[in-house]
């Protein structure tokens, strides 16, 4: 019965980072992974979807189309050539993780891990099975798609996002059930390929966490690309269709046709198989495991991190949670995940932000001003053909403290880190006013937005 100082149940961002951190601290470490190395992040989630997005942009020539008034290149974009690049990147990322774990002397067990006691993990795999003993254990098994009870997944034409990589051909018409982050990302990708997309959600609004001005701009761009929004419409069933593969019936009586239905109704913690009760633990109705500020469960030597503990459910924060959990488990003091971190929606166009929305500031009665820069006013935006992009800085009227940065457009998820760094270091609006940026770059948006915000503050001071 192999015995370890630290066992990570999962090899996604939380498990990978935790295992390496534990090994660096001198612990004997094992990783138990039911999926291929990298978990959902590498194999079916973050990396595949973001790589697929880049393949869509490259092969559909969506940026060039706006510059040269082109249509979607006929016969160039197929499921096979879209997914070829995705599979290549997945394989490379798996190898990076495998090499990292191997270099740090971490044992990897490919199989399903279950608790048989507070310190004992049963591993059932094709290669080898047995029981491992861990002094400290981290649950980092991620999530699985949540499927509403009225819908059935056949993994061929009624899919979850985990099935996208198995699409044999592109749909003629796609219906996406769920307008959350994953839903809008895939809706925008298929629309960029010239495929009509129906985007349905039983909520009357979508992406509630996004600043309303940015959300409105984003919706306009998706609609112009061929995404049809159906908000406040609840799907009650999916039936065989007369013209296309499926008829999707709404509670209101509306019927929509599509040959492929993508169910994107959120995700739930991947904990049902863990037999948590054998360790004295339980999960909530969405499969999530409760933890304290140190990522400890109610059983002190068992930790949990990553998506299985709930929001924010980002690969970036999951990795940091795993590292901090390993530090605490092995007696190394560590702070919690910083409160200031960026979010990204990898749609076409991208949305990224750090800090507060205008709605949150108004609700908290915080006096603020908004400085705006539009990509069409920036030379680099015109060079790239992105005439709709927007960068917004929210600033405190009295202190000039930067309260939030919102970006919708090309390279949003990269640009946001400039705002994050300045906010994290306590910089004020005048930093961007005084700073010189390379020309032509999208980073100039920060200076333009800062000047716009400063002018508004001066005008307000005069009135």
For the domain that residue 421 is a member of, what is the CATH number? Answer: 3.30.390.30
Is 256 a residue whose pLDDT tops 90? yes
In a shared domain, residues 261 and 278: no
Partners of 175 in the β-ladder? 198, 261
In a shared domain, residues 140 and 248: no
In a shared domain, residues 131 and 32: yes
Q: Output the average pLDDT for the chain.
A: 93
Q: pLDDT value at position 284?
A: 96
- Give dist(CA 308, CA 141) in Å, integer: 6
Q: pLDDT value at position 69?
A: 60
Structural domain contains residue 338: no
Partners of 240 in the β-ladder? 246
**pLDDT digit string (tens) for 351-360?**
999 999 999 9
Phi, psi (5° rounding) for residue 15? -65, -45
In a shared domain, residues 437 and 456: yes
Domain end point (choices 218, 243, 265): 265
Structural domain contains residue 217: yes
Is 74 a residue whose pLDDT tops 60? no
Is 45 a residue whose pLDDT tops 70? yes
In a shared domain, residues 35 and 81: yes
Q: pLDDT value at position 215?
A: 97
Q: pLDDT value at position 128?
A: 72
**pLDDT digit string (tens) for 126-179?**
777 899 999 999 999 999 999 999 889 999 999 999 998 888 899 999 999 999
**pLDDT digit string (tens) for 313-327?**
999 999 999 999 999
In a shared domain, residues 279 and 249: no
Q: pLDDT value at position 66?
A: 59
In a shared domain, residues 70 and 127: yes
Domain end point (choices 239, 265, 291): 265
Is 11 a residue whose pLDDT tops 60? yes
Q: pLDDT value at position 78?
A: 82
Structural domain contains residue 292: yes
Q: How many residues does the chain have?
A: 463
Is 70 a residue whose pLDDT tops 80? no
- Asked whether 72 and 172 are in contact (CB, 8 A), the reply is no
- Asked whether 419 and 442 are in contact (CB, 8 A), the reply is no
Quote the strand ranges of 153-278, DSSP E.
158-160, 174-177, 197-201, 227-231, 235-240, 246-250, 255-258, 260-263, 267-269
Q: pLDDT value at position 335?
A: 75
Structural domain contains residue 293: yes
Domain end point (choices 265, 285, 303): 265
Q: pLDDT value at position 75?
A: 56
- Asked whether 342 and 415 are in contact (CB, 8 A), the reply is no
Structural domain contains residue 300: yes
- Asked whether 261 and 279 are in contact (CB, 8 A), the reply is no
In a shared domain, residues 15 and 127: yes
Structural domain contains residue 340: no
- Give dist(CA 461, CA 463) in Å, integer: 6
Is 102 a residue whose pLDDT tops 70? yes
Structural domain contains residue 341: no
Q: pLDDT value at position 67?
A: 59
Q: pLDDT value at position 57?
A: 87
Rg of the chain, C-alpha, whole Å: 24
Helix (H) or strand (E) holding 459: helix 444-462
In a shared domain, residues 230 and 246: yes
- What is the total count of domains within the chain? 3
What contacts 24+ positions apart, CB below 8 Å, involve 80-83? 81/55, 82/52, 82/55, 82/56, 82/170, 83/52, 83/55, 83/165, 83/167
| SS3 track for 285-352 | CCCCCCCCCCCECCCCCEEECHHHHCCCCCHHHHHHHHHHHHHHHCCCCCCCCCCCCCEEECCCCCEE
- Asked whether 150 and 137 are in contact (CB, 8 A), the reply is no
Q: pLDDT value at position 77?
A: 78
In a shared domain, residues 258 and 291: no
Structural domain contains residue 344: no
Calculate the CA 125 to chain-centre distance. 29
Query: Which domain CATH number covers 253?
Result: 3.50.50.60
User: The domain containing residue 8 runs over which residues?
Assistant: 3-144+268-329
In a shared domain, residues 273 and 140: yes
In a shared domain, residues 114 and 9: yes
**pLDDT digit string (tens) for 185-235?**
999 999 999 999 999 999 999 999 999 999 999 999 999 999 999 999 999
Q: How confident is the model at residue 428 (pLDDT cuts 50, 70, 90)?
A: very high
- Asked whether 150 and 239 are in contact (CB, 8 A), the reply is no
- Asked whether 174 and 196 are in contact (CB, 8 A), the reply is yes
């Amino acid at each position: 019965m192999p015995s370890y100082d630290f066992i990570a149940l999962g090899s996604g961002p939380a498990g990978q980072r935790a295992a390496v951190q534990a090994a660096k601290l001198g612990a004997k470490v094992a990783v138990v992974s039911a999926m291929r190395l990298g978990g959902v992040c590498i194999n079916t989630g973050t990396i595949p979807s973001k790589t697929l997005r880049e393949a869509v942009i490259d092969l559909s020539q969506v940026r060039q189309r706006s510059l040269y008034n082109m249509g979607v290149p006929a016969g160039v974009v197929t499921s096979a050539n879209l997914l070829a690049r995705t599979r290549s990147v997945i394989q490379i990322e798996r190898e990076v993780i495998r090499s990292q774990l191997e270099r740090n002397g971490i044992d990897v067990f490919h199989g399903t891990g279950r608790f048989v006691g507070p310190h004992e993990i049963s591993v059932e795999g094709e290669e080898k099975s047995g029981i491992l003993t861990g002094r400290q254990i981290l649950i980092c098994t991620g999530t699985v798609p949540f499927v509403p009870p009225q819908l059935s997944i056949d993994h061929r034409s009624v899919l979850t996002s985990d099935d996208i990589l198995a699409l044999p051909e592109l749909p003629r018409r796609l219906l996406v059930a769920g307008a959350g982050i994953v839903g809008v990302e895939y809706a925008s990708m298929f629309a960029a390929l010239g495929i009509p997309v129906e985007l349905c959600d039983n909520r009357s609004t979508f992406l509630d966490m996004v600043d309303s001005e940015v959300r409105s701009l984003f919706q306009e761009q998706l609609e112009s690309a061929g995404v049809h929004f159906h908000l406040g419409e609840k799907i009650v069933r999916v039936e065989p269709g007369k013209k296309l593969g499926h008829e999707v019936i709404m509670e209101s009586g509306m019927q929509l046709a599509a040959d492929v239905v993508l169910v994107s109704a959120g995700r739930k913690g991947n904990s049902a198989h863990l037999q948590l009760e054998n360790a004295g633990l339980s999960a909530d109705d969405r499969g999530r495991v409760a933890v304290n500020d140190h990522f400890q469960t109610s059983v002190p030597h068992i930790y949990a991190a990553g998506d299985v503990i709930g929001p924010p459910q980002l690969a970036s924060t999951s990795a940091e949670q795993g590292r901090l959990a390993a530090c605490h488990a092995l007696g190394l003091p560590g702070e919690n995940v910083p409160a200031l971190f960026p979010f990204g929606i990898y749609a076409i166009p991208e949305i990224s932000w750090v800090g507060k929305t205008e709605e949150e500031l108004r609700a908290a009665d915080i006096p603020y001003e908004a400085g705006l820069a539009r990509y069409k006013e920036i030379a680099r935006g015109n060079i790239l053909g992105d005439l709709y992009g927007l960068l917004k800085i929210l600033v405190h009227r009295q202190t000039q403290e930067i309260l939030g940065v919102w970006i919708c457009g090309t390279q949003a998820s990269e640009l946001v880190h400039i705002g994050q760094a300045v906010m994290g270091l306590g910089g004020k609006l005048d930093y961007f006013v005084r700073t010189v940026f390379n020309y032509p770059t999208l980073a100039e948006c920060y200076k333009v937005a800062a000047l716009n915000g400063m002018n508004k503050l001066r005008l307000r001071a005069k009135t």
